[in-house]
Amino acid sequence: MVRKIVSLTGLLSFLVTLLTSVILYIVPEGRVAYWADWHLIGLTKHQWGDIHVTIGALFLVSMVVHIWLNWKPLMSAMKNRARELVVLTGPMFVSLLLTLFVLVGTLLGLPPMQQILDWSAEIKEEATVIYGNPPYGHAETSPLMKFCGFLGLDAHQAVKTLHAAGYDPTLNEYSVIKDIARSKGVSPQQVYDTIRQGQVVDPYASMPDLPPVGTGKFTIATVCATYGLDVHDVLAKLKAAGMDATPESSFKALAAKHGGSPKDIYLSIKGR
């Protein structure tokens, strides 16, 4: 009875861990997931991560108990024909080589490990394009007044614009961005887009003085969408600074090609 419970618990926890692994593989980057109020089957990225950790722990415990209950058969499988215990058997040697290949290959960027990582990065970058990128870290947790102040926007005008767009009529400068979004069933990015529509401001002035975390992974198109910049204007700015770029060019790639850092590219666009 105990063996069956342990085996079935191990199987079910393995399947759930496999599911959460796939979901966390394709989930947007944390900053994007929180900014977009991302959910899958009603669960947030944070909740999926919690499930992955706890069910993974259950799988680990069940495997330890399973090994303990099947210790004798396991030891028997590691004995040679003379019934002598041999740790480095043929199957164990092959398993060790496969594990080392994946481990070392991941660190050295060898195929197919690097391709697996690249696919995940591409999926996450596509999610950034779809859901938008926060103008600064955890912007969705900021009160409207702080949010607008950080981006050089008029908070009072933002409240009027949101009211006119059908948002909660009780919201004010102290309402939190994510709460404003949830009250209308939209993402913080859509709230931000609505606010910008009612502002007369230089979009370059609304860019933070320092680039957000992870800017190196951003493409020109992503940054333009985040701050409402004209792509052609940005490309012209970069060309004037001696950098040939396309909307799909990442800040990291441009920095590597032309020298400097992603921060330098960002400040070139901002005009500092």
What pLDDT score was predicted for residue 272? 63
Domain identity same for 90 and 143 = no
Note whether 1 and 56 are same-domain residues: yes
Tell whether 169 is covered by a domain: yes
**221 & 265 share domain:** yes
Do 234 and 260 sit in the same domain of this protein?
A: yes
For residue 73, the model assigns a pLDDT of 81
Q: Determine, yes or no, domain membership for 132.
A: no
96 and 146 share one domain: no
In DSSP terms, which residues pair with 39 in a beta bridge? 44
Answer whether residue 21 is part of any domain: yes
pTM for the complete prediction?
0.75
Structural domain total, the chain: 4
Residue 161 included in any domain: yes
**Does a structural domain hold residue 126?**
no
Domain boundaries, position 11? 1-69
Residue 74 falls within a domain, yes or no? no
Please check whether residue 30 lies inside any domain of the structure. Answer: yes
Are 8 and 34 members of one domain? yes
Residue-by-residue pLDDT tens, the chain, 272 positions: 888 999 999 999 999 999 999 999 999 988 889 998 899 999 999 999 999 999 999 999 999 999 999 888 877 777 766 667 677 777 778 889 999 999 999 999 999 999 999 999 889 888 887 888 888 889 999 999 999 998 889 999 999 999 999 999 999 999 999 999 999 999 899 999 999 988 887 888 888 888 887 788 888 988 898 888 999 999 999 999 889 999 999 999 999 998 889 999 999 999 86
Q: Same domain for 55 and 88?
A: no
Identify whether 170 is part of a domain.
yes
* Whether residue 61 sits in one domain with residue 2: yes
Residues 86 and 61 in one domain: no
